[in-house]
Amino acid sequence: MNLKKFGWILAAGFAVQIVFACKASDNSEKIAEVDGVAIHRSEVDRAAGKSLSTAREQVYKLERQKLDEYIGATLLTREAKRQSISVSTLMEREVDNKVAPITEDNIKSFYEENRTRLPVEFDKVHDQIRDYLRDQKIENQKAAYIKALRSKATITTQLKAPPVYRSDVPFTGAPIRGAEKAPVTIVKFEDFQCPFCKTAQPTFKDLLKKYDGKVRLVHKDLPLDAIHPLARQAAEAARCAGEQGKFWEYHDQLYSVSPKLSSEDLKNSAKQVGLNTAVFDQCLASGKYRAVVQKDLNDGAQLGLTGTPSFFINGREMSGALPLEAFSSVIDEELAQVR
């Protein structure tokens, strides 16, 4: 077995407790002086804002990755010594030999599922698919084995994550779903004609159920006129529905029929959720909420948003139709701070 294939960095020594230290930034630190006037790190942080935070996060993720690799390699070395065998023999026994063979059905299924990305004949990619699937199984088995070794060891790390960058996201007067005083606020910028926004809706329902009383969801509009010409009027229509106390019912209805959002579709949706259609039609025709939707657009621009869906969890930015686990990870961190 070729250890280079798996990127192992074998550690010298067999210590179970591994300590890595990384000095946290001191925002009060003076880092320059101009004619006797001090410039502090906090001032640079404010000026650099999101870009500096992103760079620090990338460095931290790389450090975290390499630290995890080093811990895994150390645990492997120790376990191999305990069993009086080489690391390569240990990996063959615990990883390679426990991976099921790749069948022809596995290869064909993968090919069929990815035909749009594999515009070549099956025979020409057969061996590459087989090797890829085999490598994936090995990686999964390897990760499971390392996880088992970690569970038996006492591991302390002191690698500190950089300070979390939080955007100041205004949402006064915006529609809110969930507990009014929840400790975690998710502000979502969306476009009713956006297919990825539509995909994200079930995830939000699951989050509100999972974190009942702990999360509130705030809606803000970011209609992308250049590619979704019907989204702006749909956003205004939803605000008109909110005037009758049914913003969220109408919101859900719009996503259920999206991208069919013509004026007639908007009126049909109003009937579906039981709105007073005469009042609704008058509201929509008047352009009453045009300025409200435009303000949301302006807020999004100030935050540097260029696409939908975009989210802020207590000011922490995320984007895309992300899985439940991605949101839960950040929400759990926020709730832990509250506790």
11-20, 108-117, 196-205: segment of lowest average pLDDT:
11-20
Q: Does one domain contain both 134 and 188?
A: no
157 located within any domain = no
- Of the two residues 166 and 249, the one the predictor is more confident about is 249
Reported as a pLDDT band with limits 50, 70 and 90, residue 26 is low
Q: How confident is the model at residue 22 (pLDDT cuts 50, 70, 90)?
A: very low
In a domain, 160, yes or no: no
User: Which among 303, 317, 27, 35 is positioned nearest to 165, based on CA atoms?
Assistant: 317
How far CA 265 is from CA of 57, 171, 331, in Å, comes to 44, 28, 36
Residue 103 belongs to a domain: yes
> Do 310 and 248 share a structural domain?
yes
Q: Could you tell me if 147 and 22 lie in one domain?
A: yes
Question: Is the pLDDT confidence value at 20 over 80?
Answer: no
Q: What is the pLDDT of residues 218-233, one digit of tens each?
A: 999 999 999 999 999 9
Nearest to 126 by CA among 96, 106, 153: 106
Q: Tell me, yes or no, whether 185 and 262 share the same domain.
A: yes
For residue 310, the cross-strand partners are: 189, 319
Instruction: Say if 10 falls within a structural domain.
Output: yes
**Are both 196 and 327 inside the same structural domain?**
yes
**pLDDT tens per residue across span 83-95:** 999 999 999 999 9
Q: What is the pLDDT of residue 117?
A: 86
190 vs 167: CA distance, rounded Å: 17
Q: Give the whole-angstrom CA distance, residue 148 versus residue 83.
A: 16
Q: Residues 181, 163, 173, CA angle at the centre, nearest 5°?
A: 30
Q: Tell me the whole-structure pTM to 2 decimals.
A: 0.65
Does a structural domain hold residue 84?
yes
Residue 186 lies in a domain: yes
Angle between helices 104-113 and 122-151 (to 10 degrees): 100
Separation CA 293–CA 296 (nearest Å): 5
The boundaries of the domain holding residue 28 are 3-151
Same domain, 322 and 256: yes
Whether the Cβ atoms of residue 329 and residue 213 lie closer than 8 Å to each other: no
Q: For 218, phi and psi rounded to 5 degrees?
A: -115, 130
Same-domain pairing of 184 and 317: yes
Share of the chain above pLDDT 90, in %: 78
> Distance from CA of residue 122 to its chain's centroid?
34
Specify whether 72 is located in the same domain as 30. yes
The answer to whether residue 26 is domain-embedded is: yes
Taking only the tens place, the pLDDT of each residue in 49-82 is 778 888 988 999 999 999 999 999 999 999 999 9
- Domain co-membership, 188 together with 78: no
Final residue of a structural domain among 113, 134, 151: 151
Q: Domain end: 151, 167, 194, which one?
A: 151
Predicted confidence at residue 41, as pLDDT, reads 80
**Calpha distance 305→311 (Å, rounded):** 10
CATH number at residue 298: 3.40.30.10
Beta strand ranges found along 98-198 (DSSP E): 176-178, 184-190
Number of domains in the chain: 2
For residues 11 and 66, membership in a common domain is answered with yes
Asked whether residue 57 falls in the same domain as residue 141, the answer is yes
pLDDT at residue 329 above 90? yes
Does residue 158 sit within a domain? no
The pLDDT value given to residue 137: 96
Whether residue 330 is found in the same domain as residue 234: yes
DSSP-assigned states of every residue in 310-338? EEEETTEEEESS--HHHHHHHHHHHHHHH
Query: With the CA atoms of 44, 47, 49 and 51 taken in that order, what torsion angle do they form, in degrees rounded to the nearest 10?
Result: -90
